[in-house]
Amino acid sequence: MAAQYGPAGPSEDELKALLAQCTVEEKIQLLSLKNFWETSNIDRLDIPSLKVSDGPNGARGGEFFDGVTAACFPACVSLAATFDRSLCERIGAAIGQEAQTKGAYVLLGPTVCCHRSPVGGRNFEAFSEDPYVSGALASSYVKGLQSERVAATVKHFVANEQDTRRFTVNETISERALREIYLRPFEMVIKQADPWCIMTSYPKINGAHMDAQPTFLKDILREQWGYQGLLMSDWGATSNCDGSLTYGLDLETPGPPKHRTVEAVQSSLAASRVTEQDVDDRVLALLKLLKKVGKFTDRRATPEEQAVDRPEHRALIREAGAAGIVLLKNDSSVLPMNKTACKKIALVGPLVDIAAAHGGGSASLNCHYKVSPYEAFQKGLGTDVEVTTSKGANIYRAYPDLEAGSVNRNGNPGFIADFFKSNDLSGEPFYSEEYPRAAFTTLMNVSATGAQSVRFTSTYTAPVSGTHYLSFSGLGPSKFFINGELVSHQAEQMRDSMAFLLGVQDELRFQHTFVAGTAYEFVIESVPSPVSNSDLHLLDNQVAAHLGYVAQADMEKDLLAEAVGLAAEADFVVCFVGNTAQWETEGQDMSEMALPAQGSQDQLVSAVAKANPNTIVVVTTGIPVAMPWLSQVPAVLQAWYAGQETGNAIFDVLFGAVNPSGKLPVSWPKRYEDSPCFGNFGLDSYDSLQVEYVEGVNVGYRHFDQKYGNNDEVLFPFGFGLSYTSFSFADATIEGTFNKKATESDVVTVSVTVTNTGSTAGSETVQVYLALPTEGAGAGRPPKALVSFEKLYLQPGESKRTQLTFARDGAAYWIEGQAWRVDGGNHSVTVATSSSPRDVQATLELEIKEAFDFAA
């Protein structure tokens, strides 16, 4: 019989009583997930299971590939570019509603790790290079999400800034850099929004994994910050049994457990390496989470996943996507475009017909729909304007999955995988499954667990004749046959298993001649890697394969000449360039800031700009990219990954339905070599498994300020973004100060009046930066740091007076001895519209009578 609790669920005393009824074995079950996405349930005591779902730009549900469709929201870097707390809170609430449609009441997001390098593969999934921006906007996101009683899981705690060898790399980071940069956004979110979950990261920090040292989980999170929520590992990031339990990691993910087996924990208990109180504390954290999300009361059952396409979510995604777009250049006010002045527009570039809604990896999902730029232009312009299109360049990293023309033995589109327990495909398959395209994996497929070989088959009928382009790869040794003939053989296992899972692997490429209308039998045979070829144990003993295809005519067409020809005939050209989820993804950092591939997109922009001076470039990436063509074009938009409405969001800004108000949440270097961690990031640590955070606290704009004295050495400064209107600032004042009696709630207030001096309604983001008075005791502190911001929406001619506040931590820096210090003297406080000295609107003085310290 189900336990009866009040409307608010069990009290803490009732939870403790429930815990006391658990056997030791039952408690151990609750220390890890039971599968990839669900916590364990104890039916005897009516302790329910809880489902989690990947985020943070949507709730994907239980299937990594081809699952139930879901709404795709803008990536967190796009949200950061809005500098809009209210909008981020609304997005969080909407994603909470989405999570519920997947039966999940824990969302694995948001990601708040700072952007350390401009080539971070997962930067798009996080907010900013600046810890204050990251913490402030993530706090709003978490508040919105948890208003729907869906738990946020703030990740990855801590210092998961690079994806290269992230499972095993050792990162050497100074205590000061940790405190001022990398821990700071987590501290802000915990104190401002109380997230119900935190996810720990993979890397070693100063020699040990998160759960193998007391520093982060016990000393900082629990004792210094007073965090009371649940701590879970990243998937496969639990590194041990004993330390993880004693230092405070509540949940090993995924399941079945590798370290917290019944035998392992009982052995640790028997040897007194772990106490029963340690186990009870970990289980109680899970029970408290179950209560918070309502699993003991109104959410007992886990419903079937549903695709619920809400009109209000569509509108919100379109609004947020447009709000994050940053206008980087607009010479001669070529934008906004005027529909009546455009008779013919050429849309060129590899992202014209692709809706680059999200990056790759955990942030990917099966969108309800995606609006490409071409679709948006077609609908938005109708028949009044002639629109021509050309890809202009191919940017394949891996060839697209073969799909069209394939039919499996059941007569359905796609392939069938037969899974065998033998390692030589002998005997009968123990399980078979249909796939819509030429790719499969056993990872996260419970039904295929234990497969030691797989046969993957389809009948392919070529739609056109030609010597078409194929690519082939397997996670382990694999063979590909056409009509019984071996045409490709991968003899060794894949070097990087994670790259394979994310579709960015190195492939065997070749051509094969096909005759239109002729049927061909395709067979792939694959086995697991004979030895572990991954730093992540979850990928051990898995089987996967991929077959890619590009038609000969598509591959060999002179796309550049076609695009230039269309550009020359058009009134305006809009060139859509950028990355795709193949190039920008979890699990892979990039080697350079250049657009892919082999300079083809840069060549395209230059060529069409030469053919037509009215060329507008739209860049869709989650990171800064080199722009060797910048001086050749009059206008550039940075569109980020704006979610499923990306095409519409871009169209709205281009034609002025939305006045661009986005600001860069990152510095935009001219070259990768100018970045502060160049030579000490990503691929530089591939073989050594060591990386040093040599730049210390000088990340992003802090580095450019420190090295050059200003931000003129960047292509575009942090906080920068143009508008279709203009603004003026007046009457800036400052009120308040700090002393040794100051608490966290005491603030200094900066007030300023902002006026829209143009003829178009628009938004401006007021930014407040603080600089220490002298080098003195604060030597090594960056010249300035952002301490507050506020976004204002103003009608033409309208003025608003706004107040921006910051607390003592804005003026503090970390010193040895577990303390923060605020220097005495006159601090410079600037009111600005970017981090560049050119954009300072007012300079104020904050006098602090004497230096003081306060505890962490």
**Total-model pTM:** 0.96
Query: What is the reported pLDDT for 1?
Result: 46
Q: Hey, what amino acid is at 361?
A: G
Query: What is the reported pLDDT for 2?
Result: 57
- The CATH number of 406-437+443-542, from 2.40.50.180, 2.60.120.20, 2.60.40.10, 2.60.120.260, is 2.60.120.260
CA distance 361 to 502: 6
Provide the token pair at 347: 């849309």
Burial profile 275-289: b = 16 or more Cβ within 10 angstroms, e = fewer: eeebbebbbbbbbbb
Q: Are 770 and 785 in contact (CB under 8 A)?
A: yes
CA distance 637 to 475: 39
> Torsions phi, psi of 267, nearest 5?
-65, -40
The β-bridge relationship of strands 819-822 and 812-815 is antiparallel
Query: What is the reported pLDDT for 501?
Result: 73
Query: What is the reported pLDDT for 711?
Result: 56
Query: What is the reported pLDDT for 531?
Result: 74
Provide the token pair at 735: 């009120």
Query: What is the reported pLDDT for 844?
Result: 98
Q: pLDDT of 557-573, one tens digit each?
A: 999 999 999 999 999 99
Provide the token pair at 170: 């050792």
Q: Are 391 and 353 in contact (CB under 8 A)?
A: yes
Q: pLDDT of 784-833, one tens digit each?
A: 999 999 999 999 999 999 999 999 999 999 998 789 999 999 999 999 99
Provide the token pair at 372: 């490409």
Q: Hey, what amino acid is at 681?
A: F
What Rg do the C-alpha atoms of the chain give, in angstroms? 27
CA distance 790 to 803: 8
List where CATH 2.60.120.260 sits in the chain: 406-437+443-542
CATH class of the 725-855 domain in this structure: mainly beta
Report the run of H or E that residue 86 belongs to, with start and end: helix 85-101
CATH class of the 21-292 domain in this structure: alpha beta
Q: How far is CA 66 from CA 60, 63, 414, 501, in A?
A: 10, 7, 13, 14
CA distance 792 to 481: 62
Burial profile 781-803: b = 16 or more Cβ within 10 angstroms, e = fewer: bbbbbbbbbbbbebeeeebbeee
CA-CA-CA-CA torsion sign (780, 166, 622, 196): negative
Comparing CA positions, the residue from 110, 25, 103, 27 lying closest to residue 70 is 103
Q: Are 645 and 604 in contact (CB under 8 A)?
A: no
CA distance 812 to 742: 12
Report the run of H or E that residue 793 belongs to, with start and end: strand 785-794
Instruction: List 204's β-bridge partners, or say none.
Output: 170
DSSP conformation class of 4? P
Instruction: List 603's β-bridge partners, or say none.
Output: none
3-state secondary structure of 617: strand
10-residue mean pLDDT profile of the chain (856 residues): values are 78 96 98 97 96 95 90 98 98 98 98 98 97 98 98 98 94 97 98 98 98 98 97 97 98 97 98 98 98 94 94 98 98 95 95 96 94 97 94 94 96 98 97 96 90 98 96 94 97 81 80 97 94 79 94 97 98 97 92 95 98 98 98 98 98 98 97 95 89 97 86 88 98 97 96 98 98 68 94 98 98 90 95 96 97 94
The residues near 164 (Cβ < 8 Å, ≥ 6 apart) are 121, 588, 589, 682, 683, 685, 686
The residues near 757 (Cβ < 8 Å, ≥ 6 apart) are 725, 726, 727, 728, 797
DSSP string, 50-63: -BEEE-SSS---S-
CA distance 758 to 770: 29
CA distance 501 to 72: 21
Q: Are 381 and 339 in contact (CB under 8 A)?
A: yes
Provide the token pair at 101: 């449609």
> Torsions phi, psi of 78, nearest 5?
-70, -40
Between the two ends of the chain, the Cα-to-Cα distance in Å is 47
CA distance 552 to 467: 6
DSSP string, 145-159: HHTTT-EEEEEEETT
CA distance 755 to 802: 11
Q: Are 224 and 856 in contact (CB under 8 A)?
A: yes
Comparing CA positions, the residue from 742, 738, 728, 813 lying closest to residue 771 is 813
DSSP string, 530-551: SS---SSGGGTT--EEEEEEE-
Comparing CA positions, the residue from 362, 309, 505, 304 lying closest to residue 65 is 362
Helices within 102-163 (DSSP H only): 131-146
CA 111 to chain centre: 6
Query: What is the reported pLDDT for 494?
Result: 84
Side-chain-facing half-sphere of 298: CA atoms under 13 Å: 7
Query: What is the reported pLDDT for 712?
Result: 67
> Torsions phi, psi of 702, nearest 5?
-60, -40
The residues near 601 (Cβ < 8 Å, ≥ 6 apart) are 349, 350, 392, 393, 395, 577, 578, 595
Q: Are 57 and 107 in contact (CB under 8 A)?
A: no
CA 568 to chain centre: 38
List where CATH 3.40.50.1700 sits in the chain: 312-390+569-708
DSSP conformation class of 65? S
The residues near 383 (Cβ < 8 Å, ≥ 6 apart) are none
- The CATH number of 312-390+569-708, from 3.40.50.10490, 3.40.50.1700, 3.10.180.10, 2.40.30.170, is 3.40.50.1700
* Catalytic (active-site) positions: 234
Report the run of H or E that residue 842 belongs to, with start and end: strand 840-848
